[in-house]
């Protein structure tokens, strides 16, 4: 059932005579609907209301639910950008409905005057705009995202367990995460592979791993470097761009990788080997030697078993990357190499410094 509801003469705040004089605009919310108990497939409902400047998307949805269609379902609680319950996609971008201004969204509409509201992606749908957060919670458990205190049980509750100010600054930003799952919804890897750890879980893992009061750093790290873990991230930066708290999630992911390379060694997993082969090529040639990258990352047996059919197709279509001897060094390679080594040295020193803290 797909129907259109018009409420041209309703106002969110007060009755009005001249809408534009009073700073009001008619806005249509095109809302995703799906009730698995009665609908065979999803559809969109249009709700047109008069919205004042300063009204948020959540407040508009509340109005629609209270005055137009009580069957509309969505999740919200604090209405202040604190609890993370109201994550949804507004005009195609995952964000908090309670901090999204309707008038700002009007500038981003694909169709003038129509704000599209959909549930978050990459999480199972429950009803309308409500998604199931259990898979995310299960991943938090799988990656042991809690502090397992190093304080002996007998001393707990008797004294404070303090950390230095410098240490706190290392995870201060990460503690701002409100688990709204906007990053989960925007992550390009999760859309292809639901098993992937997810940016929200990686951020939490980073926060726990850098806390000196925690005793299970190694257990957590061992899980993070397994299949579908930290090495699967492809640096698309969508998680960071969509974070409602502007948390540098990619920095946390890089830090976990550096930690893994340092603590477990570069030969630990295919992800680590891939990173090492990548760096080796860039230092030597200033570009990738793609033909041998899979072999150096996953070994000959894996490559033959998994990539041979694709390699044959590429040979037929004459699209194979050149063999190593034919990969010429990039222009200005000597200067580039010197810069690369200097940069690597800086990163090493920075890392040593932060490790001492
Ligand atoms: Fe709590 Fe939006 S309702 S963050």
Cα(101) to centroid(ligand 1), Å: 13
Joined together, the tokens standing for residue 189 give 């890897």
Say yes or no: 121 and 32 in one domain.
yes
pLDDT score, position 85:
98
Which of the listed residues 228, 249, 264 is the one where a domain comes to its end? 264
The preferred substitution site among 57, 75, 83, 117 for testing ligand 1, maximizing ligand atoms within 8 Å of CB, is 83
Which of the listed residues 115, 130, 145 is the one where a domain comes to its end? 130
The preferred substitution site among 56, 59, 61, 80 for testing ligand 1, maximizing ligand atoms within 8 Å of CB, is 80
pLDDT score, position 298:
81
Which value, in Å, is the radius of gyration of the alpha carbons in the chain? 25
pLDDT score, position 352:
65
Cα(58) to centroid(ligand 1), Å: 9
Say yes or no: 227 and 143 in one domain.
yes
Which of the listed residues 246, 264, 282 is the one where a domain comes to its end? 264
Say yes or no: 116 and 169 in one domain.
no
DSSP string, 91-115: TTEEEEGGG-BHHHHHTT-SSTTEE
pLDDT score, position 9:
40
Which atom of ligand 1 sits closest to the CA of residue 87? 2
Say yes or no: 256 and 303 in one domain.
no
pLDDT score, position 246:
97
Cα(94) to centroid(ligand 1), Å: 13
SS (H, E, C) 16-78: CCCCCCCCEEEEEEEEEECCCCCCCCCEEEEEEEEEECCCEHHHHHHHHHHHCCCCCCCCCCC
Determine, yes or no, domain membership for 345: no
pLDDT score, position 99:
97
Determine, yes or no, domain membership for 348: no
Task: Give CA angle at 46 (81, 40), nearest 5°.
Answer: 95
* Residue numbers of the domain that contains 278: 271-337
d(CA 134, CA 157): 31
Determine, yes or no, domain membership for 350: no
Q: What is the CATH number of the domain that holds 158?
A: 1.10.1060.10
Say yes or no: 172 and 70 in one domain.
no
Determine, yes or no, domain membership for 222: yes
The structural domain count of the chain equals 3
Residue segments in the chain with a per-residue pLDDT below the cut of 50: 1-19, 21, 357
Say yes or no: 20 and 96 in one domain.
yes
Say yes or no: 83 and 205 in one domain.
no
pLDDT score, position 301:
85
Q: Which of 19, 16, 29, 34 is nearest to 58 (CA)?
A: 29
pLDDT score, position 135:
98
pLDDT score, position 148:
95
């Amino acid at each position: 059932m797909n129907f259109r509801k018009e409420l041209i003469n309703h106002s969110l705040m007060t009755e009005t005579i001249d809408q534009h004089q009073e700073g009001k605009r008619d806005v249509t919310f095109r809302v995703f609907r799906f009730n698995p108990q009665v609908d065979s497939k999803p559809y969109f409902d249009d709700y047109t209301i008069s919205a004042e400047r300063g009204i948020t998307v959540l407040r508009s949805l509340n109005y629609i639910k209270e005055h137009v269609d009580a069957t509309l379902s969505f999740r919200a609680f604090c209405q202040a950008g604190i609890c993370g319950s109201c994550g949804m996609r507004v005009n195609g971008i995952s964000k908090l409905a309670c901090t999204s201004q309707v008038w700002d969204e009007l500038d981003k509409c694909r169709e003038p005057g129509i704000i599209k509201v959909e549930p978050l992606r990459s999480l199972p749908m429950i009803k309308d705009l409500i998604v199931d957060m259990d898979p995310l919670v299960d991943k938090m458990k799988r990656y042991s995202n809690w502090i397992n205190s190093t304080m002996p049980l007998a001393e707990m509750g008797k004294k404070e367990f303090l950390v230095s100010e410098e240490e706190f600054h290392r995870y201060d930003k990460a503690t701002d995460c409100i688990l709204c799952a906007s990053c989960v919804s925007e992550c390009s890897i999760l859309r292809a592979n639901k098993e992937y750890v997810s940016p929200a879980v990686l951020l939490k893992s980073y926060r726990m791993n850098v806390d000196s009061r925690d005793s299970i750093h190694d257990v957590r790290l061992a899980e993070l470097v397994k299949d579908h873990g930290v090495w699967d991230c492809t640096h698309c930066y969508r998680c960071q761009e969509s974070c409602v708290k502007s948390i540098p999630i990619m920095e946390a992911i890089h830090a976990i990788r550096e930690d893994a390379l340092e603590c477990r060694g570069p030969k630990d997993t295919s992800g680590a080997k891939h990173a090492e082969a990548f760096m080796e090529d860039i230092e030597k040639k200033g570009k990738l030697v793609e033909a041998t990258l899979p072999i150096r990352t996953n070994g000959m047996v894996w490559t033959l078993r998994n990539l041979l059919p694709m390699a044959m197709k590429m040979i037929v279509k004459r699209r194979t990357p050149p063999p190593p001897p034919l990969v010429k060094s990039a222009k200005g390679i000597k200067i580039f190499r010197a810069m690369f080594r200097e940069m690597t040295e800086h990163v090493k020193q920075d890392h040593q410094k932060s490790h001492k803290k």
